């Protein structure tokens, strides 16, 4: 296992379109996290799963965002009706302890 992977690495979409990102965690990790990072800022927590259960969602996460982790393995993050303010790097991380290990991220550009 080589670490956390994310797909796609880059996504350009028009405002109003839906997009979906995938994250494959380190296989033995039971917790999976989604973060968003904008220029000049650190990553901001969006949501996390323990196995297949979604345990918490940030109040920053609007109703247009939804995440799933079927069977406690990979996870998807969907953004509906994208807005220009959604342009950011979306990072996934996985963990079995306090240390979280990040994937390379998906850079979303909404035009």
Bridge partner list, 94: 32, 101
Beta carbon of residue 16, minimum distance to another protein (angstroms, whole number):
27
CB of 81 to another protein, least distance (A): 27
Q: How many CA within 13 A on the CB side of residue 70?
A: 2
Output the CA torsion 49→41→59→36 (10° steps): -40
Look up residue 88 and give its two tokens. 């950011």
Query: Does 110 contact another protein by CB under 8 A?
Result: no
98 binds another protein (CB under 8 A): yes
For another protein, which residue of 40, 53, 59, 71 counts as binding (CB under 8 A)? 40
Minimum gap (Å) between residue 55 Cβ and another protein: 9
Which residues are at the interface with another protein (CB under 8 A)?
4, 6, 31, 33, 35, 40-45, 48, 56, 91, 93, 95, 98-105
């Amino acid at each position: 296992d080589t670490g956390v992977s994310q797909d796609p690495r880059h996504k350009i979409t028009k405002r109003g379109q839906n997009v979906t990102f995938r994250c494959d965690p380190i296989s033995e990790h039971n917790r999976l996290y989604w973060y968003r990072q904008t220029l000049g800022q650190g990553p901001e927590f969006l949501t996390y799963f323990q196995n297949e259960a979604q345990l918490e969602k940030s109040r920053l996460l609007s109703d247009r965002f939804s995440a799933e982790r079927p069977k406690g393995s990979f996870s998807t993050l969907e953004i509906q009706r994208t807005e220009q303010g959604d342009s950011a790097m979306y990072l996934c991380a996985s963990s079995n302890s306090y240390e979280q290990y990040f994937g390379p991220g998906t850079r979303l550009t909404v035009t």
